[in-house]
A = this chain, B = another copy of it.
Amino acid sequence: MRNNRQSKNEKIPLQKTAAKKIKRHPVDHGTKPQSSDAILADLKHRLAEIYDLNAAGSVLAWDEATYMPNGGAVARGRQIAMLRRLAHERFTDPKLGRLLDRLDLCSDNLPADDASLIRVVRRDYEKAIRIPAEYVARANAHGSASYNAWRRARPANDFATVIPFLEKTLDLSREYASFFAPYDHIADPMIDDADEGLTATTVQRVFTELRRELAPMVRAISEQPAADDACLYRSFDETAQIGFGLSVAAQMGYDLERGRLDKTRHPFCTKFAAGDVRITTRVRENDIRDALFSTLHETGHAMYEQGVNAAYEGTPLGSGVSSGVHESQSRLWENVVARSRPFWEHYYPALQRTFADQLGSVPLDTFYRAINKVERSLIRTDADELTYNLHIMLRFDLELKLLEGRLRVTDLPEAWRAGMEADLGITPPDDREGCLQDVHWYSGNIGGGFQSYAIGNILSAQFFAAATKAHPEISSEIANGQFGTLHGWLTDNIYEPGRTLTPHEIVARATGSPMTMAPYLAYLRKKYGELYRLPLS
């Protein structure tokens, strides 16, 4: 994932919900008139300091997750919180609002990038100033307490203990939404934070269609003989696993002069500057999938951030445009590319050489089927490409019901079991493998945290289809371990603009259409139709 937990604390909210509610600040008549150049320079200077404060906080969080000794934890939490607070104070400074007001008066004459900057900063600023500082402090304190309670409760299968925490999180999430009232759906402000332009209604419409299409595919596959994936669970040397993944990442286009890979409990991608975008991975000795696909997933996020125009560094333009578009890149590289047959036609011999004892006698076809085995399983993060979406949609539905008041926290375990039964046909034996499995609700808001994963899947196929339409040679290049054409197209169309365009504009400009599910469904039907010899298409 894209450092979901961290990003909640690390970023100023990214988009505003209600553009119509912009309030003008009283003009500060005490200051001298300035040219728009001077005002812009002042604005950029302030933004750069905010960017650097957030970057410093991210370095401290990266260190906390990678190398920090246990004894550093208490001070580190305090130090990160201070940097976030200083950044937030500076960003919500009314002086910054007055600079934006002045710039609005002369924005017709500005270069396009500066106009984009003002639009994005305005959006972020109007969102940030609606959130009281005391709420931020209260929500952060509760987030830490809740996370700690969850860390103890999950291994103990003790849902009862987290109920009061989750109820307070729900209250805080509703309070958060209230800062952006009126809204059509109470989840809309949180969804808009992650995926500008999407709402509960639009996501529900998309998910209804996706579920309708996926359910029969999963059913049909489950009636086939299961793929034999025993080869994935042998003993694989940790250093060799990391080395192989990193070598592939570098060949895909992850620039290690401007990045690096370290080990953590939960994989993430983090950015300190255009020249320093890092990823982390996790290794399981007895599961070759984990380090490899985590690394390539985070590589997708990292190549996106490395590809943003470096001229935007130090401003809100200099990052990925939304969670959904970000996930589209991690999923594109992890799944569409690195779980494809052409990819392994090139890389499997090298993998066999690296792990000769374990894979030397395993045919490519067996390995390819193993890494694409569809299985109705309980844990989201272990799920295959196809059923993964069902896990996401279950969580999204439950989030909406909790926020709407149609589901009580105490009834969550039962609702989870019922949902798993309905969507996947299996029932978790306990809450550890049910509603206690994901950190999201226990460390941040309820709402807005899950839809991006499925949106990312949909967009990954849409982008890949557009890239291969423009460059039909991409598939055969992948079969030769060459990624330059694909990486170049993605850079030009998605990475380079950063936040100068909206998510919708990015999708439309790159693919010629708004977000659409057709390419994703076609991709799934073709891939799994061939894998399981089904008449899916």
Contact = CB atoms under 8 A, between A and B. Distances in A.
A72 B262 contact: no
Contacts of A219: none
Contacts of A272: 72, 75-76, 79
A79 B260 CA distance: 19
B313 A49 contact: no
A69 B262 contact: no
Contacts of A53: 82
B63 A59 contact: yes
Contacts of A76: 272-273, 276
Going nearest first, the 4 A-B pairs with the smallest beta carbon separation are A71-B275, A72-B276, A75-B273, A71-B258
Interface in A44-90: 49, 52-53, 55-57, 59-60, 63, 67-76, 78-79, 82-83, 86
A52 B258 contact: no
Interface in A256-294: 256-260, 262, 272-276, 278
Given A55-B79, A82-B49, A83-B56, A71 B262 contact: no
Nearest to A306: B71
Given A52-B82, A56-B60, A82-B49, A262 B67 contact: yes
A269 to B, nearest CB: 14
A255 interface: yes
A76 B56 CA distance: 9
B52 A79 contact: yes
- Greatest chain B CB density within 10 A among A71, A82, A83 is at A71
A510 to B, nearest CB: 26
Instruction: Bin the interface of chain A by size.
Output: 35 or more
A82 B56 CA distance: 10
Contacts of A262: 67
Contacts of A273: 71-72, 74-76, 79
A75 B312 CA distance: 13
B70 A257 contact: yes
A275 B74 contact: yes
16 contacts: A49-B82, A55-B79, A56-B79, A56-B83, A59-B63, A59-B79, A63-B63, A67-B260, A69-B256, A69-B278, A70-B258, A70-B275, A71-B275, A72-B272, A72-B273, A72-B275
A55 to B, nearest CB: 6
Given A67-B260, A262-B67, A275 B83 contact: no
A71 B256 CA distance: 9
Nearest to A68: B276
A317 to B, nearest CB: 16
A260 B78 CA distance: 21
A89 to B, nearest CB: 12
A68 B78 CA distance: 23
A72 B274 CA distance: 8
Given A56-B60, A69-B275, A75-B275, 7 more contacts: A55-B75, A59-B60, A59-B79, A70-B258, A71-B273, A72-B272, A79-B272
Contact of A71 (B57, B67, B79, B257): B257
Nearest to A75: B273
Nearest to A80: B56
A70 to B, nearest CB: 5
A71 B255 contact: yes
Contacts of A71: 255, 257-259, 273-276
A76 B53 CA distance: 11
Contacts of A60: 56, 59
A68 B262 CA distance: 12
Contacts of A275: 69-75
A83 B56 CA distance: 9
A521 to B, nearest CB: 39
Contact of A75 (B78, B255, B274): B274
A72 B313 contact: no
A78 B59 contact: no
A71 B57 CA distance: 19
A313 B70 CA distance: 17
Contacts of A52: 75, 78-79, 82
A314 B262 CA distance: 30
A288 B56 CA distance: 37
Nearest to A48: B78
B274 A69 contact: no
A239 to B, nearest CB: 12
